[in-house]
Structure 1
Amino acid sequence: MSEYDRSLTAIAARRRRSRQSSARRQSFQSVQIEENKCWICMGTDRDTQLSWLRACGCSLRAHESCLLRWIDESYRSKASSRVPVVCPQCRHPYKLRNSSAPLLSLLGIGDGMIQRIVPYVTFLGLSASFLITTTTYGVHAIITMCGPELGDSILNTPQPWGWRIWVGLPSIPIGLIMSRGRQFDPLFLLLPSLLIRPTLFLNPRSLRPIITPSIVFSLFPWVRLGYLSWYDGLIRPIEHRWDLQLASSPLSLANEGERANQAQAGGAMETATAAVGDRADLARTVVGALLLPSISSAVGSLLSRYSWFSSRISTPLYKNLLGGCLFILAKDAVRLLYKYQRLSQRKTRRIVEYQG
């Protein structure tokens, strides 16, 4: 082979190597372009000059600023910031590194302690508010029922209040509300004896026992139990029979049939109506129980205007207790009268004939 042929062969070989190197560079650049594509903002090297970051071992690439913003949004959507944010493809947890700041760490510890203490402080505040409210109502009930003089002698003791007063006063509104049911009757029979300490005194002249307020308050739960037992044995069956007759009236039966036909369509509305009715009954029970001392005092003051009553009963406590008993009797009598009148009206109902 001549020298000229060898030169042509060398030139051709150099050109092939140059073309292969150029192809490899173009392939590498295309791979780089494909790899450097932010999966968050979909930007590339040609779109922005932001710094790139590889935070996990998968093929996802992202700008550091975009990834930090995405991690912040992920933490805001999580219930707890202690759960690490992971890569959406390979599930590798992203690791964050912050500059050391002792003051910031100290403030963070303090903020965490406050977050843990706040529920307990809230509970203590609500408990203290409940205790103050119930104690204030207990003082009001004592003064209302016993009168100013006897109430002051009970509350203004020379010694600081003992545990009986601190427990007894807040128990008054709770006991009044609970007394509207029969579930706590054994507790009502024992609690006054524990809190009041009933004492019996003898009149030095007649040697007859003096009925003190402590004895009256201790015996009053037994009087209540006796009245309720009498009511349940004699009056309750009659009232229950009237309720059944009112519930089984033609109008009620028609309403029940209509409700059965519309059960699927109006089930949610009936449930809401029943819930509203239960809340109304509960509110009526609570308000009625808490207003009982004031109503008893008002009835006792009304009875005191009659000389035949005030001449026989002069103590405000006994007047108010008797007024409360009369009010309860009148309330039960009015309720029975109302049901009886409704039943009588229902029996006399007739359909008006069409006049056409």
Structure 2
Amino acid sequence: MSSTLKYPTVNDLKVRTCYVCREEERHTERPNPPKAWVHPCNCTLVAHEACLLQWIRTAQSDSARAKNALKCPQCGTQYELQSEKSIFLRVFTSVNGTMQFMGRMFTVFTMAGIVAVFGTGIYIVSTAYGAYALKEFIGNEMFNLLLTEEPANWPWHAFINLPLIPLSLILSRTSITSHILPVISILLTWPTSSPVPQQERSLREHWTDPRHAQELRISHLPSAATWPPSPLLFGLFVVPVTKMIYKRYFTMLTHWVLGSRPLPGDRQFVWQRNEGNILNIRIVAGIRREGDANADNEEAADDGNAEEEPQDVAAAAERTLNHTTSSLGRFIGGALLIPAISSFMGNMLFRLSKRSYLLRQFLAIKPPLRGHVASPPLGPYSYNQNWAGLGTLRQAKLALRLVFGSVWGGTRTWADSDPVWWRNAVGLGLFVVAKDCIQLCHLWMTKRELESRHVKDRSFEGIDIKELDLI
């Protein structure tokens, strides 16, 4: 044939049958609105462009079908998609791919490590990580009072609580305990703990010295009326209320950004297992109910080239992004990085507070205890004979007051120390907000890319003309 010969296209067929929805259309028909048809491969299959795009999006969100999502099921030709991809979306996609690779590598090394240090090794590693996490979150000052670097000084409960810290951080990211702040296990265990024996002896020697006896007698009892709020109050009340408010308004922001509408019965944070039996988390934000995926495909097949609602494209974008961010290594690694992230963000806030009086007051920054001895843990009843001089009824009332003050405000030693944990918790909250906003931005860009897609149409070049029913 001559190179100038015009090959027939999909518009030259007498009868066109969409291989996705099986709808037929004759060349004499003029549907309203008109439906775009494409011939995207090297065989005789043709389809509605809208049906084919919906089929591709559904396949890409399924790990079992994603590999062949852009291949013709009959001849295996690779489909060519043309869309608008901004430089920022490419950067986000590249970074996400890198993190996905690092997550896979983390999975491999973690599994190898678990096999190598099984049993006693796991306990030792968990205990060491628990001590590291505690030190990162409460700061060196309180860590040296409560534990020190020498395990021989640790109280017995440290050998139970410390190994549970990494487990609690990982479980905090599951749907069962997703409402709990990852560092609650750290906050609720240690504020009421007494200093280790070595530090206890130093405090006792100082406060029982006659030169300091008068100062001890006028010291205050532990109080629940402190700022910042005590770790127990913060963990049991402040965190749940804050998370509930944040979840509500971030959901509203998500709907506004994606142009979607809330649907009843949606969950905002959902755990799923993919085909590889790997857990992953995703933000749904009311875009689509979990059982609506099949209904979407049927509607798209019935409507042909009908205009898709933002709701459907947003759900497709969310499913596509979810497929590329699921990784066991990324899940575990992200949980174990929480103490380090908290410490880093807390240090950033500490540096900023040097330039802001209000921020310094909010963070309740106090001078370090180095240079003077810590406050007596239970005020004037810590190391002298005041307790023995009280009657039975007054002893019972005072005991209740000491217990209540220690539980809600922590001991005097804890309350008078620099609250590193508070600025670390605030910093972690700011990090979570920033991460969610970046993820939402990535989701919005993915949605825009899906909306700009169309399938490249091809002529029937290379196909026997006799096989075609031409006009």
Q: Which has the larger radius of gyration?
A: 1
TM-score by length of structure 2 reads 0.35
Q: Considering fraction of residues, name the structure with more helix.
A: 1
Larger RCO (CA within 8 A; separation ≥ 6):
2
